[in-house]
Amino acid sequence: MDAPLIRSAEPSDAAAISALFGTVGTFEGTLQLPDMPVASRLEFLQKIDTQAPKLVAVAGDAVVGMAGMHSMQPSLRRSHVRGLGIGIAPAWQGQGLGLELMERLLDWADNWGGVLRIELHVHADNERAIALYRSLGFAEEGRHRGYALKNGRYVDSLSMARLHPSPPRIVG
């Protein structure tokens, strides 16, 4: 299989991204639900946020990975912060695609977007995601008890955040 093409998500990708986030093996780690109509996620996915990138990884006709940030509008005082979400299709997990997407987002945040803090929630039992985030400098900031229903049980979540390792300075 050729490596997936990574590019910006376009509004026309919304249905394919939505299908990815409804896939067994992907939705469980997120707050998405099984067996929901794709249309239930379209409005959110078609929204354009000019303050944050959304990336897709495309293989053939399918979106096999998606990672994006969202801004904290309308709070000007949180304009240095972005939230982050990611999902990879089961067949492509564990092959470095999540890492590649995350590195692309972090480059945008650190070097182009003026982002100082990136924050996310992850289910406390999602070892793979937690390992990926830790390897990229995210640190745990707190634990939320019984945060979300997951396959018949309420699971804790961790809030994690990464602060810019060397915030930009004025040159010259």
Which residues are at the interface with ligand COA (CB under 6 A)? Answer: 26, 29-30, 86-88, 93-99, 122, 126-129, 131-132, 135
Name the minimum Å distance from CB 14 to ligand COA.
Answer: 18
> What residues form DSSP beta bridges with 74?
none
Among residues 127, 26, 144, 142, the alpha carbon closest in space to that of 85 is found at 26
Residue among 40 and 95 whose Cβ is closer to ligand COA: 95
Which secondary structure element, helix H or strand E, spans residue 132, and what is its range? Answer: helix 127-135
Amino acid present at 139 = A
Specify the residue, 9 or 97, whose C-beta has the smaller distance to ligand COA: 97
Least separation, in Å, of the C-beta of 80 and ligand COA?
A: 22
Give the nearest distance from C-beta 172 to ligand COA in angstroms.
Answer: 38
User: Whole-angstrom Cα distance, residue 99 to residue 163?
Assistant: 18
CB atoms closer than 10 angstroms to residue 166: 6
Cα separation of 105 and 67, whole Å?
Answer: 8
Instruction: State in angstroms the smallest separation of the CB of 24 from ligand COA.
Output: 10
Closer residue to ligand COA in complex, CB, 5/167:
5
User: Of 2 and 74, which CB lies nearer to ligand COA in the complex structure?
Assistant: 2
